[in-house]
Amino acid sequence: MADVASMTGFSDSTVTTDFGAITVEMKSVNGRFLELSLRLPEELRYAESQLRERVTAAVARGKLDCRVAVARDPIATTSRVNQTLLAQISGLWQQVHAALPLATPMGVADILRWPGVIESAAADPEAWRMPLLEATDGALAGLQASRVREGTALRAALYERCDGIVRILGQLREVVPRILAEAERRLQERLSQALGTALAGSALSREEINDRIRQELTLHGMRADIAEEMDRLSAHVAEVRRTLAQGGAVGRRLDFLMQELNREANTIGSKASAVDMTNAAVELKLLIEQMREQVQNLE
């Protein structure tokens, strides 16, 4: 069974280098399409296209926010002594020593504190490319794992609602014949009484009156029968289960199936001729609405 992923997730990944650390943070929420927002330090803009390619290859849908942060190491190997300034300081000290032989020599700490002696040369921006891509891959892996965990829970919830729909349909198949038979009996009684009174003394025979009653009963039975709607609901539920088992990017297909399920439940409600049928239609619509809300979260 292939994985089903939610569109909601969070992850971050940090890669440490000799010249500092780079962190990629990703968070995603629901969206009809992939909507990617990248926030990069200005010196890493050159890698934006590569980041977009990596993200779009891994994520199909959702509003995804990707933020990159760089923390440079102030004492990393990119710091060095300004040899030119150090030579100048040495020459100045020699002049001072020649003029004042008893003057206290400068210590190493004094020299290092001299403005400009320690240079913090910025690392070549290109040196960040591989750590950036590595951190991006780590964040994507974590994000996908997070989305799959939630997707697995959502799939279980959808299976549970499918079982609920099948249970209600089973109950309906048991009670609907009795409900329709009782409705036809009451209708036949009312028609017999009404037509018998209205047609008293008319030229119509009793057989012709009975034929008219049978026609009305047939039409009523056709209008009140929900066998086709129940069959279609069963077929749609089977397709929902098949789609969930298939896995992958199932959100849009399931969203369409939710519309079809809701259409059949509405029809059952409109044809309801007893409280049991009305209650069943309400329960069906509630389960389908719960499924629809969960489906909105699936990729």
Task: Give the contacts of 107 (CB within 8 A, at least 6 positions apart).
Answer: none
Looking at residue 113, its pLDDT comes to 77
pLDDT reported for residue 160: 96
CA–CA dist 193, 253 (Å, integer): 52
Residues 225-242 have pLDDT tens digits of 778 888 999 999 999 999
Beta-bridged to residue 13, according to DSSP, are: 24
Model pLDDT for residues 9-28, shown as the tens digit of each residue: 999 999 998 778 999 999 99
CB 153 within 8 A of CB 294: no
pLDDT digits (tens, 9 = 90+) for 85-99: 888 888 887 888 788
Biggest CA–CA distance in the chain, Å, is 148
* pTM tops 0.75: no
Residue 173: the pLDDT is 86
Q: What are phi and psi of 143, to 5 degrees?
A: -65, -45
pLDDT tens for each residue of 241-273: 999 999 988 999 999 999 999 999 998 888 776
- CA distances 5 to 12, 153, 198, 206, 295, Å, are 18, 10, 66, 67, 11
Q: Which fold has domain 9-75+128-149?
A: Ribosomal Protein S5; domain 2 (3.30.230)
What confidence category does residue 154 fall into, taking pLDDT thresholds of 50, 70 and 90?
Answer: very high
The pLDDT value recorded for residue 260 is: 95
Question: Domain coordinates of the chain in residue numbers?
Answer: 9-75+128-149, 79-120
d(CA 278, CA 243): 29
